[in-house]
Amino acid sequence: MTGTSLKGIEAVLAIARRGTFRAAALDLGMSTTALSHVIARLEAGLGVRLFNRTTRSVALTDAGREFVARVSPALAEIRAAMETVRSQRATPSGMLRINASVQAGRAVAPVVLAFLRRYPDMQVDLVTEGRLVDIVAEGFDLGIRPADLVPRDMIALPLGQPQRHAVVAAPKWLAVHPAPLSPADLDPAHCLRVRLPNGALLRWPLEKDGEPAPFEAVGRLTVDEAAIARAAVLDGAGIGLFHEADVADDIAAGRMIRLLEDWTPARPGFSLYYPGRRNPSAGFVAFLAMVRKETRSGLAG
């Protein structure tokens, strides 16, 4: 396999993973034009088109989907072989790829930075996204998600502290609406809806004394991004449900008022997870050791 063909395979997988040439080029550290040339060369060599491209979108062809399905496991094996060889070095080196939700990425960031300071020959590619991905198929070494979302066939390591949700509203909204004292007092039409990465609408996971009281918001605004939801609540658009860490500063500053606090108990925190490895790289082993140490000391999350 030539260097050019390997680069082409990496390029195809990056585009398939990210959905656009621009995002894939950023991941690969190259220009969009250079990426297009790599794909064109690979397609010319294969004699088939792997992507259908327009000015607005890019999608895998049938041949492209077959290609990605077949080369992903093979490339994972190549990466593992390269990391196995690198692991023979006394000092960890190479690339560690981590996929996490935005909140989980924030939780692990201090550990990542400490890891990079300690091991100057290591690189970390931390990708944050809402959707839950197959970390093996998409070429990641590690994933980080809430403990209850970790696939059962993965090895999991607790990361950080338990997480909580927060139900909040802006003072100006509460100036003209009564504060709810229980979920029964919530007006569904005044509550922002949250769309999950899989397209489903979130049912607010309210609970008290072990008794779940899931709530379905039907407000006029539906969002899938916490920053937009935060701006809407601050603007007085209604009541929102957030990860506590995302609005802790707003609550402390009085920009938001917390509601139904006794209906949002702590839930299991994030877990770092990975598939079983026969020959883990030195960098992989060093990162896991650091996560365990930081978690025990309470510094992670």
The whole-number pLDDT of residue 299 equals 44
Query: Residue 300's pLDDT is what?
Result: 44
65: left (phi over 0), alpha (psi -120 to 50) or beta: alpha
- pLDDT for position 230: 95
CA 115, CA 117: separation in Å to the nearest integer? 5
Burial annotation 34-60 (CB, 10 A radius, 16+ → b, else e): ebeebbeebbeeeeebbbeeeeeebeb
- Predicted confidence at residue 2, as pLDDT, reads 47
pLDDT for res 87? 57
Please tell me the distance from the alpha carbon of residue 37 to that of residue 113, in angstroms, as a whole number: 34
Quick one: how far is CA 115 from the chain centroid? 20
Q: What pLDDT, on the 0 to 100 scale, is given for residue 9? A: 86
Measure the CA–CA gap between 41 and 65, rounded to whole angstroms: 18
**pLDDT tens, the chain, 301 aa long:** 444 467 888 889 889 888 888 888 888 888 888 898 889 888 888 889 999 887 677 889 999 899 988 888 887 777 777 766 665 555 788 899 999 988 889 889 999 999 999 999 999 999 998 778 889 888 899 999 988 788 888 999 888 777 889 999 999 999 999 999 999 999 999 999 998 877 789 899 999 988 889 999 999 999 988 899 999 999 999 999 998 988 999 999 999 999 999 999 888 788 999 988 667 888 999 999 999 887 766 544 4
Q: 71-119 pLDDT, tens per residue? A: 888 877 777 777 666 655 557 888 999 999 888 898 899 999 999 999 9
User: How big is the chain by its Cα radius of gyration, in Å?
Assistant: 22
Judging by beta carbons within 10 Å of its beta carbon (0-12, 13-18, 19+), is residue 102 exposed, middle or buried? middle
Q: Which domains are assigned to the chain? A: 1-77 (1.10.10.10), 87-159+269-301 (3.40.190.10), 165-263 (3.40.190.290)
Instruction: Give the up-direction half-sphere exposure of residue 10: CA atoms within 13 A in the CB hemisphere.
Output: 18
pLDDT at 85: 67
Q: pLDDT at position 88, please?
A: 57
- How many Cα neighbours within 13 Å face the side chain of 219? 25
The secondary structure of 165-196, three-state, reads: EEEEECHHHHCCCCCCCCHHHCCHHHECEEEC
Q: Are 224 and 197 in contact (CB under 8 A)?
A: yes
Instruction: Report the pLDDT value the prediction gives residue 83, as an integer from 0 to 100.
Output: 65
d(CA 3, CA 135): 24
Secondary structure of residue 123 in the 3-state scheme: strand
pLDDT of 106 = 86
274 touches 141 (CB < 8 A): yes
**The pLDDT value given to residue 278:** 66
